Amino acid sequence: MIRTTSPAISPSPKGHPFAGAFAMLGPHMAALNLFLQGQLAAFEPEIRAMVNYCIDTSGKRIRPALVFLSGWTDSEAVSPDLVRAAAVVELVHLATLVHDDIMDSAEVRRNRMTAMREFGPTAAVLLGDALFAHALHLATHFPTTEVCAAVSESTRRVCAGEIVQSMRRRSTDLTPADYQRIIDLKTAELFRVSCYLGARLADYEGGYVDALDRFGRHLGIAYQIYDDLADFFGREEKIGKTLGTDLANGKLTLPLFVLMDRLPPFERETLSGEIGGLQPSQPALRLKQMLALGVFDAVEAAVQGEVSAACAALAEWPGHPPTHHLLALGDVLLAQAASLRPAG
Amino acid sequence: MIRTTSPAISPSPKGHPFAGAFAMLGPHMAALNLFLQGQLAAFEPEIRAMVNYCIDTSGKRIRPALVFLSGWTDSEAVSPDLVRAAAVVELVHLATLVHDDIMDSAEVRRNRMTAMREFGPTAAVLLGDALFAHALHLATHFPTTEVCAAVSESTRRVCAGEIVQSMRRRSTDLTPADYQRIIDLKTAELFRVSCYLGARLADYEGGYVDALDRFGRHLGIAYQIYDDLADFFGREEKIGKTLGTDLANGKLTLPLFVLMDRLPPFERETLSGEIGGLQPSQPALRLKQMLALGVFDAVEAAVQGEVSAACAALAEWPGHPPTHHLLALGDVLLAQAASLRPAG
C-alpha cells in the first residue's frame, strides 16, 4: 500500500551517530521528508509503493544534514534550494544502498527488510536505477547544470569505488592505500559533494566552498572508518543493520588491516585464510584479539586523525555560520566512535 | 586490457535490422565511436577496461541513428552536439542492457559474453550505474539543463517499464494493454527522446519537434514488437543474442498473446502453464502453432500498424530534411520484420 499521509518526523532515529548535532535541523528534515514524499507522484504509479518503501524516514540523513549545515546562514527560513539539493544527494545515497544490499545479500537495514529482500534482486536493481534517475532529474530543476554535473560525477565515482571494493573482495593483497582509495570514492565523495552543494547554494565565497569541500571529504573518510569499526564493535539493535559482515564477506577494512599487522605470522595466515574464504570466519576470536592488541585504539585514532583534518580545513573560517555546526558534528562522530569501546 | 586504438568502424554490423538505412551515417557513427572511446579517460582507471567492454562498436546504435537523423540538416558537417546527445542516449541504453542481462541471466549478446557473464552480477550492477551516471554527466555539458532533464526522466520511465515487466513475469493475467504500457515505457521512451533531442538540437520548430517525438515513440513500439517476433522467428547467429527466451522466462509478448487467443481452450491452458512456469516450455510446438494459426501475420501487421502511425506523424512535414530518412527507416524495419518469416 502507498502511504498517503506524511509520516511522523523523526530527525533523531535510534542509533543515529549524529543525533545530538542534528537537533536544530528539525524543520529542515521535516521539509526534506515532505519534499521526498511529494516526489512519489513523479514516479510511475506501478512503482510508487516500492519507492515509498525506500525513502522511509528512519534513515540517518547524514548527507542532507551536511547540505543543510554547509549552507547554514543567519536566516531562520529553510531554503527550498537546500531542501532540493538534500533530496538529490539522499536519493543517490538511497539508490546506492538498494544496490549495495543486493551485492551483500543483506537482509536487514535500518531494522527492517532491505528492498532486495522485500522485492527481489531484479526489482531492486531497477528500483535503484529509477531512484538514481529521479535524483538527477531533480538536480536539473536548478537554473544551471552545475548541481546535476557535480552529482552525476560523484555518483560515477561512488560506483567506481563500489566496483573496486567488490572486485577486491576476498583479496588478501589489498593495501591500506587501496582501502583509502575505496572509501574515498565510495563514501567520502558523497559527503564532499553534499558540503560543496550546500556552500555553493548558500552563495559562500570560493575559498570557503573549497574549505567545506575538504571538510566533507575528510569527515566522509572518518565516518567510513567509524562504520567499519562499528561492524566489529557495534551492537546490531543500536546500529540497525546486520553486523560482522565485513569479515564474513572477505572485506578487508582498517580494523582487519591493523589486526593483521599485529598478529604473529602463524595467526596472520589463518586470518588471511578467513578473509580469502578458505576457512570459516571466527568473529568472536578476532574481536578478542583486536581488544588485546590495541586495534580498537589504533582505528579510533584513525577516525580522530580524519576528523582533525576535516576541522583543520575550517580553521581559517571561524566566523562563518556553518563552521561552528560542522565542528560540532566532528565532535559527535568522535563521541560515537568512543562509545563503541566495549566496557571493562 | 584496455583497447587504446580506435576500433574499426562498422556502422552495419551483422544482423543490424536498420543497416540499409544507416549507410549515410558512416561519418556520424565514426564520430560517435571516437567520442565514446574518448570518454574512457573520464572513468576511474580501475573500471576503464570494463567500460570499454560495454561501449564496443558491434551494437546496432539505433538510438544514436535516431538522434542523427532527427537532427539532419542540409549541412554536410557532423554536429558535435548531436554526437554528444547520441552518446548520452547510447550510454543510457547500454546501461539498461547491462542491467537487463543480469535479470535475464543472459549469457550472450551481440555474439559475445554479456558484462554480467564476463564480470559477474555485482560488478555488472555497478558498471551499469557508472554508465548511467556518466551519460547524465555528459548531458550536463549542454548550455541548459534541458537535455539532462529529458534524459533523466526517460531513464526513470525505462526503469519503471522494466520493473513492471519483471514483476509481471510468469503472470498469465497480463492484458494486451499492460504489454503496450510496458513496451511504451521500456523501449519507445528512449526512441522518442532520441528523436526529440535530435530535433531540438537542430533547432527545428516546435510542431516538427512534436512530430518527430511521436514518430520516435511509434517506431519504438514497432521495433519492440519486431524484437518480440524475432525472439521466436529469428536466427541466433543473425540476431546475435540468445533467442526463445521470452517463453522460457515467462514473458508474455504479442506473439504469445495472439497464439493464446487462437488456441483451443485446452491447449491454451497448457500454454498458460508454460508461461506460469508450471510446465516446461515447448518452443518448437509453439512455433509450429504460430505458423499454422497465422500468428506471424497478425504480429507483422501490428508492426506495420505502428510504423504507419510513426510515418503519419511526419505527413505534414514532407520537405524537412529528416522526414525522408526517417520514413526510409520505417520501411527498413518493415522489411526486417518480413524477412523473419520462415521459408516455405
- B273-286 confidence digits (pLDDT tens): 999 999 888 888 99
Residue A37 has pLDDT above 50, yes or no: yes
Name every chain B residue with its beta carbon within 8 A of the beta carbon of A102: 122, 125
**Cell output for A280:** 570459516
CB-CB under 8 Å, B133 with A129: no
Name every chain B residue with its beta carbon within 8 A of the beta carbon of A97: none
- What's at A344, amino acid-wise? G
CA distance B303 to chain A (A): 26
**Cell output for B41:** 579517460
- pLDDT band of residue A13 (cuts 50, 70, 90) is very low
Tell me the mean pLDDT in the region B147-163: 95
Of A42, A126, A152, the CB nearest to B140: A152
Query: What is the per-residue pLDDT for A67?
Result: 98
Task: Give residue A122's domain range.
Answer: 19-339
Residue B192's Cβ-side half-sphere holds a number of Cα atoms within 13 Å equal to: 23
- pLDDT band of residue A14 (cuts 50, 70, 90) is very low
Residue B270 has pLDDT above 80, yes or no: yes
Tell me the mean pLDDT in the region B300-313: 98
Query: Which residue would you say has higher pLDDT here, B55 or B147?
Result: B147
Distances (CA, A) of B233 to B223, B277, B342: 15, 22, 7
Cα B65 from chain centroid (whole Å): 12
Query: What is the per-residue pLDDT for A101?
Result: 80
Residue B15 has pLDDT above 60, yes or no: no
Q: Is B4 on the interface with A (CB under 8 A)?
A: no
Place of cell 546475435: B240
- A189-217 confidence digits (pLDDT tens): 999 999 999 999 999 999 999 999 999 99
The ipTM value here is: 0.88
Q: Is A46 on the interface with B (CB under 8 A)?
A: yes
Query: What is the per-residue pLDDT for A20?
Result: 67
Question: Measured between alpha carbons, how far is A275 from A257 in angstroms, rounded to an integer?
Answer: 11
Residue closest to A227 by CA, chosen among A248, A247, A192, A253: A253
Which span out of A112-116, A120-124, A298-302, B250-254 was modeled with the highest average pLDDT?
A298-302
H or E, element range at A132? helix A121-139
CB-CB under 8 Å, A160 with B44: yes
- pLDDT band of residue B19 (cuts 50, 70, 90) is low
Q: Give how many domains chain A has, as a whole number.
A: 1
Tell me the mean pLDDT in the region B332-341: 94
Residue ranges of B 103-162 with Cβ closer than 8 A to chain A: 103, 122-123, 125-130, 132-134, 136-137, 139-145, 148-149, 152-153, 155-157, 159-162
Tell me the mean pLDDT in the region B327-337: 94
Query: What is the per-residue pLDDT for A15?
Result: 53
Q: Is residue A26 part of a domain?
A: yes
Residue B223 has pLDDT above 80, yes or no: yes
**Cell output for A257:** 588491516
- Note whether B188 and B62 are within 8 A (CB): no
Q: Is residue B202 part of a domain?
A: yes
Q: Is residue B8 part of a domain?
A: no
> Can you give the pTM of this predicted structure?
0.90
- B232-247 confidence digits (pLDDT tens): 998 766 666 666 788 8
- pLDDT band of residue B13 (cuts 50, 70, 90) is very low
Q: Is A113 helix (H, G, I), strand (E, B) or coil?
A: strand
State percent of chain A over pLDDT 70: 90
Tell me the mean pLDDT in the region B41-61: 87
Query: What is the per-residue pLDDT for A11?
Result: 36
**Cell output for A304:** 580522530
Query: What is the per-residue pLDDT for A252?
Result: 92
Q: Is residue B10 part of a domain?
A: no
Q: Is A250 on the interface with B (CB under 8 A)?
A: no
- pLDDT band of residue B10 (cuts 50, 70, 90) is very low
Question: Measured between alpha carbons, how far is A2 from A301 in angstroms, rounded to an integer?
Answer: 45
Q: Is residue B158 part of a domain?
A: yes
Residue A295's Cβ-side half-sphere holds a number of Cα atoms within 13 Å equal to: 27
Q: Is residue A61 part of a domain?
A: yes
Q: Is residue A163 part of a domain?
A: yes
**Cell output for A4:** 498517503
Q: Tell me, what CATH number does A326's domain have? A: 1.10.600.10
Q: Is residue A105 part of a domain?
A: yes
Q: Identify the weakest region by mean pLDDT among A273-282, A313-322, B50-59, B134-143.
A: B50-59
CB-CB under 8 Å, B130 with A44: no
Tell me the mean pLDDT in the region B134-148: 96
- Note whether B227 and B239 are within 8 A (CB): no
Residue B14 has pLDDT above 60, yes or no: no
Question: Measured between alpha carbons, how far is A57 from B125 in angstroms, rounded to an integer?
Answer: 26
Q: Is B122 helix (H, G, I), strand (E, B) or coil?
A: helix
Tell me the mean pLDDT in the region B312-326: 97
Residue ranges of A 310-339 with Cβ closer than 8 A to chain B: none
Q: Which residues of B179-194 are buried (b: 16+ CB within 10 A; e: fewer)?
A: bebbbbbbbbbbbbbb
Of A96, A137, A166, the CB nearest to B122: A166
Of B125, B139, B160, the CB nearest to A125: B125
Tell me the mean pLDDT in the region B289-301: 96
**DSSP-assigned letter for residue A43:** S
**Cell output for B39:** 570518454
Query: What is the per-residue pLDDT for B16?
Result: 63
Tell me the mean pLDDT in the region B318-341: 95
CB-CB under 8 Å, A152 with B134: yes
Q: What residue of A is the nearest CA neighbor of B150?
A: A137
Query: What is the per-residue pLDDT for A142?
Result: 97
How many CB pairs (< 8 A) connect A and B?
156
